[in-house]
């Protein structure tokens, strides 16, 4: 998991909190130097800091949530896989000439049972981000994870996918290799698989690039993660013809976990520790593991035909329209 010694990266709305915390440290140092007892004051201030943190994170706007979801220290797919798995071995390659590092996949053991885990991998720093292409997958990535999902299906292993991408890579090479076809193929084939599939949005769910590994029996979403049809920036540029209108677009698009639960797109919202997952990755990973194991237990009680039928009906029911009498 992310190491705590590194200097924290502060989002704008976290600044008042950081200032308060700095003041607490200052007072404590001063008190020690001058040998005064200020423990009452410090207790008060610390309580205030906890309250402030709670207030800030419970009242985040959609755009602020987007910032949290994109936080450079937010736990990534590999962080979660390593935290929740008993063991894990990454496997590589689409067997068609490429190994996309923006999508990782492998065999693992979760709470004793063999599973296949896969997901988008964002980089932990600039250099890593170059290797990972900022979590923007290419057709080879979608084909690699499809290969391993097929593998899981043959060996009766449940599939856990972790979604964290700004979107599929919009590059010339990706287009040439059939980005659209690669995603489309996964969408259809994930309905064919009969092992349990659980999808979790751990950070950013960027449009078709997210959906390409997002078909399953359950869709879980961390409280501060987002999932959108078009990024607020792109949406603002297209519909408002002004990229500066991203806050309005973020609001209008209904991208937060609670909004999507209401729309019937998301099955369960996973609560995050106070200050979001990056403040306490271990607790976030525990929440994730408990939820996944619970859903796996539920899904294991069904026959493969029942699972396929329920998966079909789950997506079949999504959409809002009216049918006017003829």
Residues of the shown chain interacting with other proteins in the complex, contacts defined by CB under 8 A:
168-172, 174-181, 183-185, 187-189, 191-192, 207-208, 211-212, 214-215, 227-230, 234-235, 238-241, 248-249, 252-255, 260, 263, 265, 311-312, 315-316, 318-326
The nearer residue to other proteins, 174 or 202, going by C-beta atoms, is 174
The C-alpha atoms of residue 290 and residue 292 are separated, in whole angstroms, by 6
Shortest Å distance, C-beta 184 to other proteins: 4
Q: Any idea how long the chain is?
A: 326
Shortest Å distance, C-beta 258 to other proteins: 13
What is the b/e burial string over 275-288, where b = at least 16 CB atoms within 10 angstroms of the residue's CB? bbbbbbbeebbebb
Q: Residues near 221 by Cβ (< 8 Å), separated by ≥ 6? A: 200, 201, 205, 227, 257, 260, 261, 266, 268, 269, 270
Shortest Å distance, C-beta 249 to other proteins: 8
The nearer residue to other proteins, 184 or 293, going by C-beta atoms, is 184
Q: Using an 8 Å Cβ cutoff, are 96 and 140 in contact?
A: yes
Q: Using an 8 Å Cβ cutoff, are 139 and 181 in contact?
A: yes
The C-alpha atoms of residue 257 and residue 265 are separated, in whole angstroms, by 9
The C-alpha atoms of residue 158 and residue 152 are separated, in whole angstroms, by 7
The nearer residue to other proteins, 110 or 266, going by C-beta atoms, is 266
The nearer residue to other proteins, 56 or 190, going by C-beta atoms, is 190
Shortest Å distance, C-beta 172 to other proteins: 6
The nearer residue to other proteins, 84 or 101, going by C-beta atoms, is 101
Shortest Å distance, C-beta 288 to other proteins: 21
Shortest Å distance, C-beta 143 to other proteins: 13
The C-alpha atoms of residue 190 and residue 215 are separated, in whole angstroms, by 6
Q: Residues near 323 by Cβ (< 8 Å), separated by ≥ 6? A: none
Phi and psi, residue 127, nearest 5°: -65, -45
Closest listed residue to residue 246, CA positions, set 66, 71, 69, 72: 66
Shortest Å distance, C-beta 206 to other proteins: 10
The nearer residue to other proteins, 108 or 255, going by C-beta atoms, is 255
The C-alpha atoms of residue 244 and residue 163 are separated, in whole angstroms, by 27
The nearer residue to other proteins, 89 or 326, going by C-beta atoms, is 326
């Amino acid at each position: 998991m992310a190491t705590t010694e590194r200097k924290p990266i502060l989002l704008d709305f976290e600044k008042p909190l950081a200032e308060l915390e700095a003041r607490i440290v200052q007072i404590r140092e001063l008190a020690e130097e001058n040998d005064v007892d200020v423990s009452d004051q410090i207790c008060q201030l610390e309580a205030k800091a906890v309250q402030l943190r709670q207030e800030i994170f419970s009242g985040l706007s959609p755009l602020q949530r987007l910032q949290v979801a994109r936080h450079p220290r937010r736990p990534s797919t590999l962080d979660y896989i390593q935290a929740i798995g008993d063991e894990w071995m990454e496997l590589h390659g689409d067997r068609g000439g490429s190994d996309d590092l923006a999508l990782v996949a492998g065999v693992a053991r979760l709470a004793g049972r063999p599973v296949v885990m896969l997901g988008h991998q964002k980089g932990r720093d600039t250099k890593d981000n170059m290797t990972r292409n900022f979590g923007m997958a290419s057709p080879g990535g979608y084909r690699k994870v499809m290969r391993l999902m097929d593998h899981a299906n043959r060996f009766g292993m449940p599939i856990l996918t972790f979604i964290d991408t700004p979107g599929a890579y919009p590059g010339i090479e990706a287009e040439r290799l059939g980005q659209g076809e690669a995603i489309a193929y996964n969408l259809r084939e994930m309905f064919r698989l009969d092992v349990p599939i659980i999808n979790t949005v751990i950070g950013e769910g960027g449009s078709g690039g997210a959906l390409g590994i997002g078909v399953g029996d359950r869709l879980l979403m961390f409280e501060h993660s987002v999932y959108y049809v078009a990024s607020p920036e792109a949406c603002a540029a297209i519909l408002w013809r002004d990229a500066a209108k991203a806050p309005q677009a973020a609001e209008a698009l209904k991208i937060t976990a609670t909004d999507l639960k209401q729309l019937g797109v998301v099955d369960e919202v996973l609560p995050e520790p106070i200050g979001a997952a990056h403040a306490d990755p271990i607790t976030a990973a525990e929440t994730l593991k408990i939820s996944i194991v619970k859903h796996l237990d539920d899904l294991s009680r069904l026959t493969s035909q029942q699972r396929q039928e329920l998966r079909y009906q789950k997506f079949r029911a999504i959409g809002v329209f009216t049918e006017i009498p003829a």
